[in-house]
Amino acid sequence: MIELINKAKALLESNAVQVVIGYGKGTSNRTRAIFVTQSDDCDKLIFDSRCVQNLAVYLTKSEIKKLGKPAIVAPIPVLRSILELAVENQLTENDIVVLGITPESEIVDFDTFANIEAFLATHKIVIEEKYHEIIRLIKAMPVAERFAYWVKELEPCFKCYACRAACPLCYCTRCTVDDNQPQWISVPSHPLGNLEWHIMRAMHLAGRCTDCEACFNACPMGIPIHLLTKSMLQDVNDNFGSYGPSLEKQNTLSSYKPDDKESFIR
Amino acid sequence: MSNPNIYIPYLMKIEKITLEAPGVKTFRLKFENDEDAEAFSFKAGQFGEYSIMGVGESTFCIASSPTRKGYIECTFRQAGKVTSALALAEEGDVVGFRGPYGNTFPMDEWKGKNLLFIAGGIALPPMRCVIWNALDTRENYQDITIVYGAKSVDDLVYKDELAEWRTRPDVRLVTTVDPGGETSDWQGEVGFVPMILEKTAPKAENTIAIVCGPPIMIKFTFPVLEKLGFTEENIYTTLENRMKCGFGKCGRCNVGEVYVCKDGPVFSYEQLKMLPAEY
Amino acid sequence: MQTENYLIRKPSLEKLFNNLISGGKTVIAPKAKGNLALFDKVQAFGEITEDYIVTTNSAKSVVFPRTEKLFSYHKSKEKTEITDASSSAFPDVILWGTRPCDAAAFVPLTDTFNGDYKDIIFNNRIEKVILLSFSCSRSDDSCFCTSVNSGPGNTSGSDVLFTKLSGCEYLAEVMTPKGQLLVSENIDLFETKTSEDKEKSLAVVATRFNQEEIQAKLQNLFENPVWDDKSRACLGCGSCAYVCPVCSCFDIQDEAHGNKGTRLRCWDSCGFSMFTLHTSGHNPRETQGARWRQRILHKFLYVPNKSKIAGCVGCGRCSRSCPADINILETLTSI
Amino acid sequence: MTEFEPKIIAFVCNWCTYAGADLTGTSRIKYAQNVKIIRFPCTGRIDFMLLLKSFGEGADGIIVSGCHPNDCHYTSGNFHARRRWIMFRGLLDLLGIDVRRIQYSWVSAAEGAKWADIVNSTVNTIRELGPYTEYEKVAGYLEKEANQ
């Protein structure tokens, strides 16, 4: 990772950026997000297969924005999030320096978001077969059984909102669950409130989610909430063509085609 | 409280609603249950949790004086979820009340002294309780001066009472409104509270100053008081922080180690200076 | 009371479990779920996992459920009626498989919910809970119970503490009258035990800091860069507080259906930006650093100063569950 | 035992379906009385949370209806709504919330008879499905099972 370290050093020394958001050694065998502001500290940057946290989440956090212009270490899931943030006008090309990392651990500089998109065109989101299988199995259940399955799966949720906090696309300064006039979602955790919260979360990510699994990785209780967004991703694909962020077109639910097809409206 | 479950409120009937200023209302509340009314007592400076069933609870001080028995009053500005629901309530409706909570102004220690009240905007209600307490036991105190300011003439609360205090020979009332907030027939001062306070120049000797207002007003008032010769232990204020329980359990109102709900809300400037800036 | 020691063998332990179930008790015990062990209701001995250092969730929900009904109300044109929830019948709960840290957490919890204002719902619940704890034979990097006056074989808070001695033998230390009653009702399952060889069966947990020293340092540490430094990666979720066995901050919320409804107490976390937000928009704890400071100071300064007890039991759950790998031990040892 | 009468909430747009339902009335077409109509400016404004809230408060079925494609008073509100319905329906289906309990339709201001037909057929469908007890059980959790 010497190349990454040198690039980070050069960026900080030339004052092209004031902070490098990257991965560093964590406790035990974990890695964690680190925020390097001194070029001497760049040696702390690492990258390996354990680095799965989606760092793009920090690009919109006020505490991090205060540190100045960032460079961000960006493996593919982070690149997808950056592109989606760009599509949603949350980032401009001047706001960040992107240190892309390919699946082969090569460092790639991305000067423009268009370059990111071009690169991602060859690294498309693929929902693993095992998830397709689980979703198929769930959908094969009788409807009441399916409902009972999910109520039970969501039961351990105590609404710590780690799923929301870890998601790079949950950047709203005030989330709908925090609104109380009206109170859309119950504050306490109980079966109805949990169900409504997870439906709302999934719906607000519909057509935006880039399948980084940050929500699932963050959930302390191991609830498979990423199945909801994965299933919806597939629905986007089946109904509206491809999924994944694109600078050329608007998000699925921000756009429409007069001839969108459905079979259930009378 | 009479109920062993500390979260259960008294049921109170709204006896009277007064519109004090735009968005600001005063409720006079009477206990639904006579035994509760009998057993209830409080002291100046304490607060309670007022609630609308199905909506939630909100924290305000008790704005009436403990010398006026049989009812309590609260004054609130419609702002959040609960106050918006309270604002829709009508006379005769039943609301919940838990309390009294918190410490009190040391009215007994102040006997024989001059009292100077300095309030801004919607912060007069917590002080109104103390003012009426002092006026109802007038013989216990020397000079009473009230300096009260609001954004505009319309925003002054307790207009009838201000008129009463103005005509009382045993009270000196100075009212002021922010520049631009005056009307053509406004008789009072124009200017911010700290400036008007300095101009009014009450004597500091044997005087207790009680200050309550928005943080910005408090920030500029303390130096003026010190300039006038007030010492830290003779300046009092009452703090507000977000609260849920009111009795030191829910864990959010603390300023450093001090819980506003149990150790406060009344603090002397001397105590306040020891606290971290977490309010 | 005088501690009584017994010996119990694994088959008898299973019998004890079955007796409790057939006696109508609700048994909450660690259950495996994927890679996690979670406290959950169990019906059969076989459902209980032994493969855990500590569970992911804590046992506090037994006495401080994440959603607790305080009372219900019914409004009609004529009057408002309130039904007190504290008088409802709370279940007899056996907490099976708590670790000494879990049990120790009931001390600060009880302290918070008592004092001048006694929380009768909490007290009614805890009165009906019996803790059958199991000592730790394993630990990990996140554990630091020995730094907060506890330890892998600590008996504080437990009614009975079992320590696995060898193969299928367990030492049973009976600590309280509740535990005594439970043992005496099942006395045929227990054998008398005199020799004490518990220590060598316990995990080794190194002492990482001195609690008194930390407390003294924190006294003057309110303004310090450490808070921002150590919380920079914090995402502002509530998982640390929600898995913590001691954290007891709560919110009070109403839920209405037509003219009836309930007032509820539910978990809240000092890590949420909304926790202290005033209606005016002013926030006394504006940054995540200020919130992290509150969490540390509350546990290691405010609680010990006020109640002379530890506000943290060193279970390490917060560190393990943190999605950003923010480590409480790291913060404490760096100040 | 009295026969089950479905409780149905209809979320309709102001410009087409509401006017259509009005026409049903002025044309004196009789239809099932199980529907409570809530009028919205546009189907684009009908948040999916409203549908969930309806089930939470005890609705057995829901009708969502607005202008036909290309007829939206605001040009594209119903196109946006249609995409949202497609996504929402897929999610509900995965979660086991019975999608047969939500009827989506286009009813114009001239289609009074169609409105009556939509309502009648929805009432029949829900009558066959019976009360939505699965959802009610989850929604009524606090009243029944809290403190256990």
Q: How far apart are CA B58 and CA A182, in angstroms?
A: 17
CATH number at residue B77: 2.40.30.10
pLDDT confidence of C335, banded at 50, 70, 90? confident
Share of chain B above pLDDT 90, in %: 90
Q: What average pLDDT does range A71-91 have in this prediction?
A: 96
pLDDT confidence of D148, banded at 50, 70, 90? very low
Residue C107 lies in a domain: yes
Residue B53 lies in a domain: yes
Q: How far apart are CA A127 and CA A233, in angstroms?
A: 9
Distance from CA of A246 to the nearest CA of D (A): 18
Residue-level pLDDT at D144: 58
Domain that holds residue C122: 4-64+75-334
Q: Which residues of B touch A185 (CB under 8 A)?
A: none
Q: For B185-218, what is each residue's pLDDT tens digit?
A: 999 999 999 999 999 888 999 999 999 998 889 8
Q: What average pLDDT does range B119-138 have in this prediction?
A: 94
- Subunit partners of chain A (3 or more CB pairs within 8 A): B, C, D
Residue B48 lies in a domain: yes
Q: How far apart are CA A142 and CA C122, in angstroms?
A: 41
> Token match 């650093």: residue?
C289
Residue C178 lies in a domain: yes
Residue-level pLDDT at D146: 45
Give the orientation angle of helix A191-204 with respect to helix D48-56, to 10 degrees: 170
Q: Tell me, yes or no, whether B132 and B232 share the same domain.
A: yes
Q: Tell me, yes or no, whether B127 and B85 share the same domain.
A: no
Q: Tell me, yes or no, whether B19 and B94 share the same domain.
A: yes
Q: Tell me, yes or no, whether B97 and B144 share the same domain.
A: no
| pLDDT at position B1 over 70 | no
Inspect the interface and report whether the beta carbons of A227 and D94 lie closer than 8 Å: yes
Task: Establish if A236 touches chain D: CB-CB under 8 angstroms.
Answer: yes
Distance from CA of C246 to the nearest CA of B (A): 12
Q: How far apart are CA A194 and CA A192, in angstroms?
A: 5
The backbone torsions φ and ψ at residue B144, rounded to the nearest 5 degrees and listed phi first, read -120, 120
Which stretch of DSSP H or E encloses residue A196? Answer: helix A191-204
Residue B227 lies in a domain: yes
Residue B246 lies in a domain: no
Q: What average pLDDT does range C180-190 have in this prediction?
A: 94
Q: Tell me, yes or no, whether B166 and B67 share the same domain.
A: no
Q: For C309-328, what is each residue's pLDDT tens digit?
A: 999 999 999 999 999 999 99
Residue-level pLDDT at B2: 58
Residue C69 lies in a domain: no
D8-145: what fold?
A: Rossmann fold (3.40.50)
Residue-level pLDDT at D1: 56
Q: Which residues of C touch A190 (CB under 8 A)?
A: 67
Task: Establish if A196 touches chain D: CB-CB under 8 angstroms.
Answer: yes
Q: For C196-246, what is each residue's pLDDT tens digit?
A: 678 889 999 999 999 999 999 999 999 999 999 999 999 999 999 999 999
DSSP chain B: --SSSTTPPEEEEEEEEEEEETTEEEEEEEESSHHHHHH----TT-EEEEEETTTEEEEEE--S-TTSTT-EEEEEE--SHHHHHHHH--TT-EEEEEEEES----TTTTTTSEEEEEEEGGGHHHHHHHHHHHHHTGGG-S-EEEEEEESSGGG-S-HHHHHHHHH-TT-EEEEEE-TT---TT--SEES-HHHHHHHH----TTEEEEEES-HHHHHHHHHHHHHTT--GGGEEEE-----SSSSS-S--SEETTEETTTT-SEEEHHHHHHS-S--
Residue C88 lies in a domain: yes
When CB atoms are compared, the residue of A27, A166, A189 closest to C67 is A189
pLDDT confidence of C1, banded at 50, 70, 90? low
Task: Establish if B80 touches chain A: CB-CB under 8 angstroms.
Answer: yes
Q: How far apart are CA C209 and CA C203, in angstroms?
A: 18
Print the SS3 string covering B100-125. EECCCCCCCCCCCCEEEEEEEHHHHH
- Sort strands B172-177 and B189-190 into parallel, antiparallel or unpaired: parallel
Distance from CA of A166 to the nearest CA of D (A): 22
Task: Establish if A134 touches chain C: CB-CB under 8 angstroms.
Answer: no
| pLDDT at position D3 over 90 | no
Residue B179 lies in a domain: yes
- Whether chain D lies against chain B with 3 or more Cβ pairs closer than 8 A is no
DSSP C58-116: -SGGGTS-SEEEEEEEEE-SS-EEEEESTTS----EEEEEE-HHHHHTHHHHHHHT-TT
Residue B275 lies in a domain: no
Residue C79 lies in a domain: yes
Query: Which tokens in the block code for residue D79?
Result: 């196109």
Residue B258 lies in a domain: no
Q: Tell me, yes or no, whether B179 and B83 share the same domain.
A: no
Q: What average pLDDT does range D128-134 have in this prediction?
A: 95
- Count of domains forming chain C: 1
- Count of domains forming chain B: 2
CA closest to A252 among chain D residues: D83
Which stretch of DSSP H or E encloses residue C318? Answer: helix C317-321
Q: Please provide the average confidence, as pLDDT, over all residues in chain A.
A: 95
Residue-level pLDDT at D32: 95
Inspect the interface and report whether the beta carbons of D146 and C255 lie closer than 8 Å: no
pLDDT confidence of A1, banded at 50, 70, 90? confident
Share of chain D above pLDDT 90, in %: 90
Q: Which residues of B touch C277 (CB under 8 A)?
A: 242
- Residue D29's contacts (CB-CB under 8 Å, 6 or more residues apart) are D112, D113, D116
Q: For C61-97, what is each residue's pLDDT tens digit?
A: 999 999 999 999 999 888 899 999 998 889 999 999 9
- The answer to whether residues D50 and D11 touch, using CB atoms and an 8 Å cutoff, is yes
Distance from CA of D57 to the nearest CA of C (A): 7
Residue-level pLDDT at B6: 95
- The answer to whether residues A214 and A168 touch, using CB atoms and an 8 Å cutoff, is yes
Residue B218 lies in a domain: yes
Q: 150-179 in A: which are within 8 Å (CB) of D?
A: 150-151, 176
| pLDDT at position B220 over 70 | yes
Distance from CA of A195 to the nearest CA of B (A): 21
| pLDDT at position C168 over 90 | no
Nearest alpha-carbon partner for A262 in B250, B176, D106: D106
Query: Which tokens in the block code for residue A70?
Result: 């960032």
Inspect the interface and report whether the beta carbons of A221 and C38 lie closer than 8 Å: yes
| pLDDT at position A129 over 80 | yes
- Subunit partners of chain B (3 or more CB pairs within 8 A): A, C
Q: Please provide the average confidence, as pLDDT, over all residues in chain C.
A: 93
User: Mutate which of A19, A35, A159 to disrupt the C interface (most C C-beta within 10 Å)?
Assistant: A159
Domain that holds residue B29: 10-101
Inspect the interface and report whether the beta carbons of D94 and A147 lie closer than 8 Å: no
Residue C157 lies in a domain: yes
Q: For C233-242, what is each residue's pLDDT tens digit?
A: 999 999 999 9
Q: For C270-297, what is each residue's pLDDT tens digit?
A: 999 999 999 988 999 999 999 999 999 9
Nearest alpha-carbon partner for B60 in B251, B240, B245: B240
| pLDDT at position D143 over 70 | no
- Residue A189's contacts (CB-CB under 8 Å, 6 or more residues apart) are A157, A158, A159, C66, C67, C266, C267
Q: How many CB pairs under 8 A join A and D?
A: 115
Residue C70 lies in a domain: no
CB-count burial class (<10 Å; 0-12, 13-18, 19+) for A242: exposed
| pLDDT at position B74 over 60 | yes
When CB atoms are compared, the residue of A192, A206, A264 closest to D87 is A206
Residue-level pLDDT at C83: 93
Q: Tell me, yes or no, whether B20 and B118 share the same domain.
A: no
Inspect the interface and report whether the beta carbons of A64 and C323 lie closer than 8 Å: no
Q: Which residue has the higher pLDDT, C2 or D80?
A: D80
Q: What average pLDDT does range A189-213 have in this prediction?
A: 95
Residue-level pLDDT at D95: 97
Query: Which tokens in the block code for residue C288?
Result: 């995540």
Alpha carbon distance, N-terminus to C-terminus of chain C:
40
Residue C145 lies in a domain: yes
Inspect the interface and report whether the beta carbons of C253 and B56 lie closer than 8 Å: yes
Inspect the interface and report whether the beta carbons of A180 and B81 lie closer than 8 Å: yes
